[in-house]
């Protein structure tokens, strides 16, 4: 196991577990300001936006259309199923056909 | 989500926890397969992928981690990104901690570990206080789906034909696009938040040439601040936490 990967797993697990466990011992955390709650709630969505762009365009600079079509295929498939494997398979298939 | 009695009417709480967790198992297994498949594709080992799923046990953030690892971001950048994405668990644990019957420190430490978005949603939909054996069984069922799916996906990735292997680079983005669609279906006002983050990340990374991990963290925080300031309300899944004070 690479040391870097091990360090990533160790520290991110510690930080994530901290978020999950601290409210069980610190009662004041259920009275957070509403602004802070909204901030925490939208954070994963903001992360998804930042993860899609510009990576989707730059990672496939040799075939940008394949990247876009693959992601679009996944997005459309996701409209019809909550299951994540079908969008993933759709994106592989679409990218395969474009490459 | 079906209304379930949280094993507090004299039924076997472990059995009802497993029953309530089964839909999560079914949902997690293919998602974790996608994680294992992508982890294999970016050259993580089977044990690294398994360890991720066994100890971090945090769906979306594991995909974020793969993306940042593949982009060559520094360890501390990746760790900060994952922790930021998972900060929202504070809200869910705060809500759960008021419903649980767990009094001992050990029981609290244990049930906190498996409090994922889906476990929280399922446990919260039950009536009355939430018994520790019920919650532990629910979490263990979800966890088993996540870990076995990871292993299955990783091994499946190794036996794919080589032509398909090439197009697998897209899977991570397919996953992000699918997760975003599922989020937007819940709350339409998420669209401008995601768009703001995408725009900011593109500008910070491509125009200002910030390090990828920092560009990611800064654009995520700025877009979340904009979203929190401008957008209407705390969503359904967190409403319980909101209502109780």
Specify the long-range contacts of residues A21-26, CB closer than 8 Å, at least 24 apart. A21/B93, A21/B108, A21/B109, A21/B112, A21/B113, A22/B90, A22/B93, A23/B90, A23/B93, A23/B94, A23/B96, A23/B97, A24/B93, A24/B96, A24/B97, A24/B100, A24/B102, A24/B108, A24/B109, A24/B111, A24/B112, A25/B108
Q: Which residue has the higher pLDDT, B146 or B168?
A: B146
Structure-token pair, residue A99: 């490459």
Q: Which residues are registered as beta bridge partners of B130?
A: B100
Q: What is the mean pLDDT of chain A?
A: 87
What is the per-residue pLDDT for A80? 94
Residues of chain B contacting A60 with CB distance shorter than 8 Å = 169-170
pLDDT in tens, B79-135: 998 998 888 888 889 888 888 888 899 999 999 999 998 898 888 877 788 999 999
The residues, ordered by sequence, that sit 6+ positions from B105 with a Cβ below 8 Å of its Cβ are none
The residues, ordered by sequence, that sit 6+ positions from B232 with a Cβ below 8 Å of its Cβ are B189
Residues of chain B contacting A83 with CB distance shorter than 8 Å = 27, 30-31
Q: Which of B48, B79, B108 minimises the CB distance to A1? A: B48
Q: Which of A54, A74, A92 minimises the CB distance to B168? A: A92
pLDDT in tens, A22-48: 999 987 777 778 888 888 888 888 988
CA-atom Rg of chain B in angstroms: 19
Q: What is the ipTM of this complex?
A: 0.86
- Residue B235 in this model has a pLDDT that exceeds 80: no
What is the per-residue pLDDT for B242? 40
Residues of chain A contacting B220 with CB distance shorter than 8 Å = 43, 46-47, 50
Among B141, B145, B143, residue whose Cα is nearest residue B19: B141
């Amino acid at each position: 196991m690479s040391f870097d990967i091990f360090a990533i797993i160790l520290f991110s697990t510690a930080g994530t577990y901290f978020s999950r466990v601290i409210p069980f011992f610190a009662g004041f955390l259920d009275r957070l300001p509403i602004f802070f709650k909204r901030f925490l709630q939208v954070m994963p969505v903001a992360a998804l936006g930042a993860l899609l762009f510009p990576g989707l365009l730059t990672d496939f600079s040799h075939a940008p259309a394949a990247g876009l079509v693959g992601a679009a295929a996944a997005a459309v498939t996701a409209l019809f199923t909550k299951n994540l494997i079908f969008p993933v398979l759709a994106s592989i298939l679409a990218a395969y056909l474009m490459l | 989500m079906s209304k379930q009695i949280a094993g507090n009417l004299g039924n076997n709480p472990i059995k009802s926890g497993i029953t309530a967790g089964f839909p999560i198992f079914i949902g997690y297994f293919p998602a974790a397969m996608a994680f294992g498949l992508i982890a294999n594709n970016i050259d993580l080992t089977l044990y690294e992928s398994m360890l991720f799923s066994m100890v971090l046990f945090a769906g979306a953030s594991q995909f974020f981690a793969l993306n940042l690892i593949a982009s060559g971001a520094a360890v501390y950048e990746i760790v900060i990104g994952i922790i930021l994405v998972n900060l929202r668990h504070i809200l869910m644990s705060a809500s759960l901690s008021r419903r649980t019957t767990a009094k001992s420190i050990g029981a609290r430490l244990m049930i906190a570990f498996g409090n994922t978005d889906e476990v929280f949603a399922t446990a919260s939909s039950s009536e009355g206080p939430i018994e520790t054996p019920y919650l532990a069984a629910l979490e263990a069922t979800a966890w088993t789906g996540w870990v076995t799916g990871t292993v299955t996906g990783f091994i499946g990735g190794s036996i794919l034909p080589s032509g398909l292997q090439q197009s697998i680079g897209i899977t991570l983005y397919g996953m992000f696009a699918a997760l975003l669609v599922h989020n937007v279906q819940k709350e339409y006002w998420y669209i401008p938040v995601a768009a703001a983050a995408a725009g900011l990340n593109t500008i910070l990374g491509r125009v200002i040439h910030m390090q990828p991990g920092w560009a990611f963290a800064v654009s995520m925080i700025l877009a979340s601040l904009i979203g929190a300031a401008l957008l209407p309300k705390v969503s359904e899944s967190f409403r319980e936490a909101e209502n109780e004070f």
